[in-house]
Structure 1
Amino acid sequence: MRARIFQPSRTAMSSGTAKTNHWLLEFTPTEAREVDPLMGWTSSSDTQAQVRLTFETKEAAVEYARDHGIDVQIQTPHKRKPNVRPGGYGDNFATGRRGAWTH
């Protein structure tokens, strides 16, 4: 049984970082999905592909995998450097602003 441990990235629809502070253990599929010829639905008899376990830390996920004999692949996240500009958008509305605010 193989699984991967990773920290999910933020969604493409948001610049926020909600739901990215935990670690997931997700099993890799052991067989390919099949397309039902009548309905066109995809299915598989592999039920482990539906399991996603959530952990607070990477160490907790690795310990769980080791205790249960799961072969894991750990993917480290690529963290972005925060882009905080001094005098950014909020500075347009500052009460101590120097000069006129124009479009």
Structure 2
Amino acid sequence: MTARIYQPARNAMQSGQAKTKNWILEYAPEEPRAVDPLMGWTSSGDMDSQIKLTFESKDAAIAYAQSKGIAFSVQEPKPRKHNVRAGGYGENFATNRRGVWTH
């Protein structure tokens, strides 16, 4: 039973950074998911894949995994490149624009 420790990425539909500060420990699936032929639902007999633990820091997640004897791998987050424009949002409505701007 191995676990993955990672910091979640931001939601692609939002520009904010909510729910991306904590670290998550979740177990890797031990058996593949199967589709029920009658209902079409996806199911699995692996109950550990439903567990998702949240920690304040990476060190706390690693300490928990080591204290419980869980094999783990740590995935470091990719740093976000900030897109800061000089004019910002107000540049969309500038009155001193030199070129023609239309939709």
TM bracket (short chain) = 0.7 to 0.9
Q: Deviations over 1:59-95 (max 9, x none)?
A: 00000000001110100000113222333224778xx
The aligned residue for residue 26 of structure 2 is 26
- For 1:1-103, what aligned pairs fall within 5 Å after superposition? 1-90=1-90, 100=95
Aligned equivalents of 2:89, 2:96: Cα separation in 1: 12
Partner residue of 1:96?
Answer: none
TM-score (norm 1): 0.84
Return structure 1 stretches of 4+ with deviation > 4 angstroms: 90-93, 99-103
CA displacement, residues 32-85 of structure 1 (integer Å, 9 cap, x when unaligned): 111111111111111000000000000000000000011101000001132223
Looking at structure 1, the residues matched to 88 and 62 of structure 2 have their Cα atoms a distance apart, in angstroms, of 41
Kept in 2: contact 1:92–1:101 (CA 8 A): no
Q: Cα 1:36–1:91, aligned 2, differ >3 Å: closer, same or farther?
A: closer
How far is 1:9 from its partner? 0.2
The letter of the residue matching 1:40 is G
Tell me how far apart the structure 1 counterparts of residues 27 and 47 of structure 2 sit (CA, whole Å).
Answer: 10
Contact 1:7–1:21 at 8 Å: present in 2 too?
yes
Task: Flag structure 1 segments of 5+ consecutive residues without an equivalent.
Answer: 94-98
1:85 maps to a residue whose letter is: R
What's the CA shift for 1:101?
5.5
What TM-score do the two structures reach when normalised by structure 2?
Answer: 0.84
